[in-house]
Structure 1
Amino acid sequence: MTSRMQVIWAMVAGLFLVACGAVPDDVRAPDQPGLARAIAALDPEVAPEEAQRVARIAYAYPLELRAAWNVTDGPLVHNTKVNQGRRPRGLCWHWADDLEARLRLEGLESLSLHRAIANHDNIRIEHSTVIVSAKGDAWDEGIVLDPWRYGGYLFWAPVLEDERYGWEERSRVFEIKAARTAAQ
């Protein structure tokens, strides 16, 4: 590869990494009341107080993790630091595990928590998240709570409206992977 091509590829890679670290203004400006309303609107049986608690924790707890894990870069750069042992945690499944565990401490009665994975079967980086739904509803009827995407700043959207990721139920992904391994 010529040095000119190397420079072009380096610039493209740099732009990609910068773009991965950009946090949109609407994500930096938390909409905790909007999330609480969206959770409460999942079903008439959802307790408004539970919806408010989940929204508060979903916004506040990832920011605590961000500070504890010294997240100073976009997710892909931070992932590299974690994988190199330069940061303690911060991979997507760390965020999902820790947020799910924290929310489970609330003893939710009108809401259910689910886990989902995107990109398990393609070249893009596999991604894990937490989903909240009304009690008894399917995971794909819920709302994605994704703190990894913007390094601790919460992204949320109804599962089927998340334009960036096509989510699949985590247990189903594990079944697919187990079957693939067994077939080898």
Structure 2
Amino acid sequence: MMKSLFVTLMMLAAAALAGCASGPTATKHDVEELSRALQTLDTKVDPDEARRAAEIAYSYSARLAEQYDVTTSPILHNTMVNTGVKERGLCVHYAEDMQARLSQENFQTLSLLRAIAEPKNDFRIDHSTAVIAAKGGGIYDGLVLDPWRYGGKLFWSPTTEDSRYDWEPRLKVLRRKYERRMAKEAA
């Protein structure tokens, strides 16, 4: 009881301190840089699609943070979601929603994929993200679009150059987790 009261008070204090922070913003330069990176994925990537994808990735990241009512660090926000204080805002929510929003554009030269990084930290928390690649490319050929990492401010990089996470295709990780669970249950 005392522990849960302490956790609740700490979350409320963090929310109050962060409540005055302004939301994530992107500059025209940020959008142009992502657009150029998308165009370099393949010569067949349509420049208009790349620009539109970059604009949406940045604006929708900020919109999601607003919808999720993000007022703290991502880890504290996760705690609030996991304890029922907030409804959404886990990395998997950002990844699902970003992929769904960009998929609405019906890009002809870009593909939307999902990736998961298994934990490298003591928290033992998986991390999910959306990946955008040239049509027909896989996650290792694309760019990570990670709005969770900085609480709604879009982080992006080539998947293979993200030094913080070792990304793998989502289905590969889920299959491996399922096999581990089945092996444990069989033992």
Q: Where on the TM-score scale, by shorter chain, does this alignment land: which range? A: 0.7 to 0.9
Instruction: Measure how far apart 1:65 and its partner are.
Output: 1.3
Pair 1:154-2:154 in alignment = yes
Q: Deviations over 1:122-176 (max 9, x none)?
A: 7432100000011111211100000000000000000011011110110100110
User: Partner residue of 2:85?
Assistant: 86
Instruction: Measure how far apart 1:177 and its partner are.
Output: 1.0
TM-score, normalised by the number of residues in structure 1: 0.82
Pair 1:181-2:181 in alignment = yes
Aligned runs of 1:11-160 on 2, under 5 Å? 29-30=26-27, 31-120=30-119, 123=122, 124-160=124-160
The answer to which of 123-132 and 100-109 deviates more is 123-132
Which residue type is aligned with residue 44 of structure 1? T
Q: Is the 8 A contact 2:146 2:154 kept in 1?
A: yes
User: Partner residue of 2:9?
Assistant: none
Cα distance in 2 for partners of 1:145, 1:121 equals 19
SS at 1:177 equivalent: helix
- Percent identity, please: 49
Q: Is the 8 A contact 2:26 2:58 kept in 1?
A: no
Instruction: Measure how far apart 1:89 and its partner are.
Output: 0.5
SS at 1:149 equivalent: strand
Instruction: Measure how far apart 1:120 and its partner are.
Output: 5.0
Q: Unpaired runs of 5+ in structure 1?
A: 1-16, 22-26
Cα distance in 2 for partners of 1:138, 1:98 equals 20
User: Partner residue of 2:172?
Assistant: 172
Q: Is the 8 A contact 1:120 1:173 kept in 2?
A: no
Which residue type is aligned with residue 136 of structure 2? G
User: Partner residue of 1:163?
Assistant: 163
TM-score, normalised by the number of residues in structure 2: 0.81
Instruction: Measure how far apart 1:87 and its partner are.
Output: 1.2
Q: Is the 8 A contact 1:119 1:166 kept in 2?
A: yes
Q: Deviations over 1:35-82 (max 9, x none)?
A: 000001100000011111110110001111111111011100000111
